[in-house]
Amino acid sequence: MTDRFETPLAILQRVTPRRVEIRFKPAVTIHVAGLVAIFQERKRMQGNDPVSLLVVIPPDAEREIAVPGIDQFARNDGA
């Protein structure tokens, strides 16, 4: 069981069997493709098992305008 994954936008770490922390890297621009990569890594880590998520976004992170409108469940088979 791998406890840590890295994507271009964030580091995902399993801190307990049922909790994953997602820590965005400093000064990133959060975009839809980057979020999809994070969702895919989370699913690879935990499969379809429900988990608690702690998401940390640094104050200098930016986001693309399309980000608030994405449906993460539709894009990731309910992950």
**Which contiguous run of DSSP H or E holds residue 31?**
none
Residue 42 contacts residue 19 (beta carbons within 8 Å): no
Q: Do the domain assignments include residue 77? A: no
Confidence (pLDDT) at 78 = 47
Q: Do the domain assignments include residue 76? A: no
Q: Do the domain assignments include residue 30? A: yes
Report mean pLDDT in 10-residue bins for the chain, 79 residues: 86 93 94 89 87 92 69 54
Question: How many domains does the chain contain in total?
Answer: 1
In angstroms, the CA 27 to CA 60 distance is: 5
Task: Count helices and strands (H / E) in the chain.
Answer: 2, 6
Which structural domain, as residue segments, surrounds residue 61? 4-66
